[in-house]
Each structure stands twice: as structure tokens, then as C-alpha cells.
């Protein structure tokens, strides 16, 4: 089972790279941000709870997040492997994931850090538009859709996230970058950390991720295996 963790600050390009990588590896993406946004949209109790934190740029508490993620990775489509986008975001979440995988005699195969300087993160989030269908991200200048306001991949409508307002972007940086450092350290110690330069064109970053994964021994899932 391939368990690939995509790490990076808010706006680094995880959500852009995750579906491209999923298509190459033949395994699904699980993005906790997308799971939370779906719960908010559906008005579930979990969504109402999560929304308070998301709107303030804060991390949703570990207990809620870990439960949601573990339930999702136990579904049948995650059997051959998963790409995790936006999880783990704290040392507690990283430890909970290790423990759950160890229970199945599995482990994180590789944690790929998409590294981007802070000024560029702010620029990227300020111009970000995502689709209602699956959260596919676009950027008004650096990665526009072919047809304005419409997702290239699934045709759904594009919108700007409420937490991509300038004041919330700053709050997310302040609240989340410290925890990210701890998660990076967790995977450095586990010797599965690989770092790619995220300040390059989307296709070049994708190639760099492939090279990093090959170096970590992660190869595409062949149909019928897993
Ligand atoms: P971005 O890609 O911009 O970092 P996400 O879509 O991954 O944003 O997450 C949006 C928000 O959802 C986060 O700011 C946070 O409030 C919440 N969230 C997502 N994943 C996690 C997580 N693993 N732990 C805690 N909160 C999370
Ligand atoms: P994350 O999921 O890490 O928060 P996203 O994938 O949503 O980040 O990307 C944030 C914004 O930056 C989006 O508007 C996206 O279109 C844009 N973006 C992603 N990768 C690049 C890149 N390599 N160069 C320029 N813009 C990018």
C-alpha cells in the first residue's frame, strides 16, 4: 500500500498537484480541507463545528480531524493506497496516522514537502479560485481555467473560498506554519521526507514530485494488484 503525504504551507500547490499525482499513481486523493468543506456545505454537525475554526484560519481540533480521516481511509477505495493532501497538519495527527497504519502493518511511504516562500503563498491564495465539484484549484493569473469561471476537469462552477480573504490568509500563516514545521520534523526523523522546489511551473513541480517518489520507492499501482 502506497501512503503518500503531500506537505506544504497553505497555498503551496498541494491541491493542484494531488489530482495529477493520483492519476499517475492510480490511487485516490483524500484532502481533509475538501472533506470539511463538504460537511460545511451539507450543514452537518461536524461541518458546523469545523466551520468556526476554518473561518478564523485556525486548525480544526485534532480529535475531530483524526476521526474523520481514519474513517475515510478505512473505505475500500483506499485499499491500494492514498495520497493525503492537508493531513497530517500537527504532530498529534502524524502520530495518530502512524499508529493506525501500524495496526495494518503499513506505514507512510513518502512525505513530499512542496516548498514555497511565504510572499508567494499569499499571492497564490489571493488569486485562488476552486471548483464546487471537487475543489480543483485555479489561479486568476498563473493557472487560469480554459473557460472563465468553469472547471476544466469537471465543468463545475468556480468560486473564491471565504478563508482566502487577506486577513484570514495572514491568520492561517500565523496559526499553521509552526505546526507544519513539527510535521516536517516528524517525517525527517522517520526518514521518509523528500523536499521539492514548489516555486516552478506546475508541470515541473509534478516532475520533481515523481522523481522524489521514485527515490523513496513509490511506484504506480498496477491494475489488479493491491
Ligand atoms: P489550504 O490548502 O489552503 O491549506 P485546506 O483546504 O487544506 O487549505 O484546509 C482548509 C482549512 O480546513 C484549514 O485552514 C483548517 O481550518 C481546516 N483543515 C484542513 N485540514 C486540516 C487538518 N489536517 N487539521 C486541522 N484542520 C484542517
Ligand atoms: P494548497 O492546496 O497547497 O493550498 P493550491 O494547489 O490550492 O495550494 O494552490 C494555491 C494557488 O496557487 C491556486 O490558485 C493554484 O492555481 C496556484 N498554483 C498552484 N501551483 C502553482 C505553481 N506551481 N505556480 C503558480 N501558481 C500555482
Whether 8 is in the pocket of ligand 1, judged by its Cβ within 6 Å, is: no
Residue 223's pLDDT is: 56
3-state secondary structure of 109: coil
pLDDT of residue 222: 65
CB-ligand 1 contact for 15 (6 Å cutoff): yes
Closest listed ligand to the CA of 30: 1
Q: Output the pLDDT for position 226.
A: 42
Summarised one tens digit per residue, pLDDT across range 169-221 is: 999 999 999 999 999 999 999 999 999 999 999 999 999 999 999 999 998 87
Question: What DSSP designation does 143 have?
Answer: B
Nearest CA, atom 6, ligand 1: 33
Q: Kindly give the pairing relationship between strand 128-131 and strand 137-139.
A: antiparallel
What's the confidence (pLDDT) of residue 219?
Answer: 84
> Would you tell me how many other CB atoms lie within 10 Å of the CB of residue 102?
10
Kindly state the percentage of the chain with pLDDT values over 90.
Answer: 94
Q: Rounded mean pLDDT of 115-135?
A: 96
- The alpha carbon of 59 and the centre of ligand 1 are apart by a number of angstroms equal to 6
The catalytically annotated residue of 51, 72, 124, 128 is 128
CATH architecture of the domain formed by 2-117+176-215: 3-Layer(aba) Sandwich (3.40)
Q: Using 50, 70 and 90 to split pLDDT, how confident is the model at 225?
A: very low
What are the boundaries of each domain within the chain?
2-117+176-215
Catalytic annotation present for 14 = yes
Ligand 1, atom 3, residue with closest C-alpha: 10
Report which DSSP code applies to 226: -
pLDDT score at 221: 73
Residue 110: strand pairing partners: 4
Probe target for ligand 1 pocket from 5, 33, 52, with the most ligand atoms within 8 Å of CB = 33
Beta bridge partners of residue 5, listed in sequence order: 84, 111
161: annotated active-site residue? yes
pLDDT tens by residue, 93-117: 999 999 999 999 999 999 999 999 9
Phi-psi region of 151 (alpha: psi -120 to 50; beta: other; left: phi over 0): beta
Contact criterion met (CB below 8 Å) for 197 and 5? no
The DSSP secondary structure of 73-115, one letter per residue, reads HTSGGGSSEEEEES---SHHHHHHHHHHHHTTT----EEEEEE
Helices 166-189, 118-126: axis angle to 10 degrees equals 130
Whether residue 51 has its Cβ less than 6 Å from ligand 1: no
Nearest listed ligand to the Cα of residue 131: 2
Average pLDDT of the segment spanning 112-132: 96
Q: Are 162 and 55 in contact (CB under 8 A)?
A: yes
Amino acid at each position: 500500500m502506497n501512503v503518500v503525504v503531500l506537505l506544504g504551507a497553505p497555498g503551496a500547490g498541494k491541491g493542484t498537484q494531488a489530482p495529477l499525482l493520483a492519476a499517475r499513481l492510480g490511487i485516490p486523493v483524500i484532502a481533509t480541507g475538501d472533506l470539511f468543506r463538504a460537511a460545511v456545505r451539507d450543514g452537518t454537525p461536524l461541518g458546523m463545528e469545523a466551520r468556526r475554526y476554518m473561518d478564523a484560519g485556525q486548525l480544526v481540533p485534532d480529535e475531530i480531524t483524526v476521526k474523520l480521516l481514519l474513517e475515510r481511509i478505512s473505505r475500500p477505495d483506499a485499499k491500494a493506497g492514498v495520497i493525503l493532501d492537508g493531513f497530517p497538519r500537527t504532530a498529534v495527527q502524524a502520530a495518530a496516522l502512524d499508529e493506525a497504519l501500524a495496526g495494518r502493518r503499513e506505514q507512510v511511504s513518502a512525505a513530499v514537502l512542496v516548498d514555497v516562500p511565504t510572499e508567494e503563498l499569499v499571492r497564490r491564495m489571493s488569486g485562488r479560485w476552486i471548483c464546487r465539484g471537487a475543489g480543483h484549484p485555479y489561479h486568476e493569473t498563473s493557472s487560469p481555467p480554459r473557460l472563465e469561471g468553469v472547471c476544466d476537469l469537471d465543468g463545475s462552477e468556480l468560486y473564491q473560498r471565504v478563508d482566502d480573504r487577506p486577513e484570514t490568509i495572514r491568520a492561517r500563516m500565523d496559526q499553521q506554519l509552526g505546526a507544519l514545521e513539527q510535521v516536517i520534523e516528524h517525517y525527517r526523523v522517520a526518514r521518509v521526507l523528500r523536499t521539492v522546489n514548489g516555486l516552478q511551473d506546475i508541470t515541473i513541480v509534478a516532475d520533481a514530485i515523481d522523481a522524489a517518489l521514485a527515490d523513496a520507492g513509490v511506484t504506480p499501482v498496477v491494475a489488479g494488484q493491491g
